[in-house]
Every structure is written in C-alpha cells, then in structure tokens.
Amino acid sequence: MSYEIVARPHEQKFIDWSKDKPEVLVLTADLTNSCEVGRWRDIYPDRYFSMGMAEQNMLGMAAGLAREGFEPWLHTFAVFLYRRPLDQLQMSIAYPSLKVRLMGFLPGIMTPGGVTHQAIEDIAVLRAVPNMTILEVGDATEAETVHDIAHAIDGPVYIRALRGEVSRIFPKNEPFKFNTARILSTGSDITLITSGIMTEEALRAIPLLQEKGVGINHLHVSTLKPFTDPIVLKALQSAKHGVITMENHSIVGGVGSAVAEIMAENGIGVRLDRIGLKDTYAHGASQKYLMSEYGMDAKALVESISKLMKKDLGISESDLEEVRTVSVHSSAKAEAL
C-alpha cells in the first residue's frame, strides 16, 4: 500500500483559509519558514507579528490580542509552546479560555533535533490544563482541514501539526471531524487506538495481521481533549483480547492514559498495552530509527498483539519491511530544522 505524498499541506491551505478572516493573525518565534508560514507572512504582512525567540512574551501578547477579539495562531515547534511558557499558557490564555491557537510542529520523535526539540509529554501536560482543547493531525487531509475545527472552539487549542511531506491516508472529502474517531478497520479480537503519525505506522501491519486472522477494530483519534467520543467507548467495550494504544508521545499521560481512564471508569476488564515512549527521553536521530529503538513501530504492534492474544503470529520483520507504505519519510526527509 502506498499513499499520495502531499507537499506542505498546511502552507497553502492556511493562506486560503485566512483570506476572509481578518481577525486571524500569525505570531512566530523565529521558526516562520520552518512552520510553513513564510508565504503567509509575505501575503498578509499586516497580520503577521514576529516575536523573536521569546515564547513567554509571545503567549502573553497572544492573550492580549485574543482579549481584543483577534485570533492569534502561534506557529513554532510543539515543544516551545508548552514547556518553557507553561505558566503563561495557563494564566494568560487557558484560565480566561481565550481563542489562541497553538500550532505545534514536529511533535514527539519526529525531529532529529533531540531531546530539547522533542515534545514527548505535551499531551500529558496539556490534558491537565483546564479549558484546553488538544488536536493532533494524522495525515495531509487532517492537516488541510484542522483550521475550521480549531477556529470554531471558544477557547485555547493546541494542535500537534504536521509539515513538509505528509501522506494522505484519509480521503480528501472526509475532513477532520471534532471529537469523532475514524474507524479504519473492524474486528473483535483487538481494539487498536492510534493517533498522529502512529496511525500510518499501524496501517503497515494491519493487512498482515488480518491475513493471520486477527480481527482488529482500528480507530484513529485526532481530538485528544476532550476525549469523550462514544465511538471510542464502544470500541473499547467490544475488545475480546485487549486494547492497544499507539502514540508518538510518552505512555504516561497521553492517549494511552486517556484510554485507560475510560476503561477503568466503565469497568472494561481487558488488558491494555500502551505503545509509545516508555517513560523515557529520546535523542537526536531519524524518526524511523527512533520508532524502532523505542518500540513504537509496526513491529512493536505485532509483538503487542502476540502478547495479548498469547500466540505467535508468524510475522517477520522482513514481512513488515515489504509493506512499508512509503519510502519512509524520516530517511527521505532528514529535514533541516
């Protein structure tokens, strides 16, 4: 299986989308081109504000602008939006529930920039912040259509965004839907919940697993807070052998934890295996390398299912290599920061 690769899905869509919305502003912190808003700046210079490498102030100024009725869209790397300026995010933006949009690029282990650049606990931190909405796009279609979703929310929105060359997994005519999971396959053995880039990684293994007779109820989730989608609850209730989550994030506090909470609260008594960074920092390397090193790839999914179903599925690493969906983004685009 291979997907269409879309170049810079956010860039032109955001330019077009912003055209009739004079209240939409862009604020950046020295990563304008890196976050695909260099052309936006050139087209709408009066609505663009360079804030320099000073994120605490950038979040505060965004709060002031939002109080005055503007809708600032902050563009920088995910890690710089919540780690250093968390107090500003909480007190200046989240408490008054202001319409500030935080476009966080290169979430999780997508950046070779190493530990300083890797937002591995952003979902955990921000799930605990009242009034926050957390979205994560998983493909080009979602990257192209997340803007309307965020725009409609009367409060702060943090978006795990994708840039550069992005696969189109979901049909163009099936846009991002708020708090609504996409059902990618059905089956009653295992319920698999994936988010962000992990969905594409899981899709590599699914056909092989299905060939081996494993029934997989696979959901892609893109609204991570709120996490109240009845489709998710139903899928969790139908899992015979267990539930697996896959996220480009620490297994502490992210999608895996959100799923665990729902399972516990609803008395769903099957095992849960959380695939993600196992309470560890990572380091600077390619996405593919890190996904393998930290057990976050399709192979990890196959092993997880074997464990939950207590049987050897007979799927080898070379089988998985053959179904690699694209010529692996991470090695094809060891992108400059």
**Which spans of this chain sit near another protein (rule: CB under 8 A)?**
46, 49-52, 54, 56-70, 72, 87-88, 91-92, 95-97, 130-133, 153-156
Q: Which is nearer to another protein, 63 or 203 (CB)?
A: 63
Q: Which is nearer to another protein, 156 or 254 (CB)?
A: 156
Phi and psi dihedrals of 145, rounded to 5? -125, 5
Beta carbon of residue 266, minimum distance to another protein (angstroms, whole number): 23
For residue 130, the minimal CB distance to another protein (Å) is 8
13 near 103, Cβ under 8 Å?
no
What single-letter amino acid sits at 205?
A
228 versus 327: smaller Cβ distance to another protein:
228
Least separation in angstroms between CB 90 and another protein: 8
User: Other C-beta atoms within 10 Å of 8: how many?
Assistant: 17
Q: Which is nearer to another protein, 136 or 200 (CB)?
A: 136
d(CA 190, CA 3): 25
CB of 73 to another protein, least distance (A): 14
Q: Which is nearer to another protein, 63 or 192 (CB)?
A: 63
Smallest distance from the beta carbon of 151 to another protein, in angstroms?
14
State the pairing for strand pair 133-136/223-225: antiparallel
Q: How far apart are the first and last CA of the chain?
A: 29
Minimum separation from the CB atom of position 66 to another protein (A): 8
Shortest distance, position 25 Cβ to another protein, whole Å: 8
Closer residue to another protein, CB minimum distance, 52 or 314: 52
Q: Which is nearer to another protein, 60 or 242 (CB)?
A: 60
* Encoded tokens for 248: 């480009």
Contact between 80 and 68 under an 8 Å Cβ cutoff? The reply is no
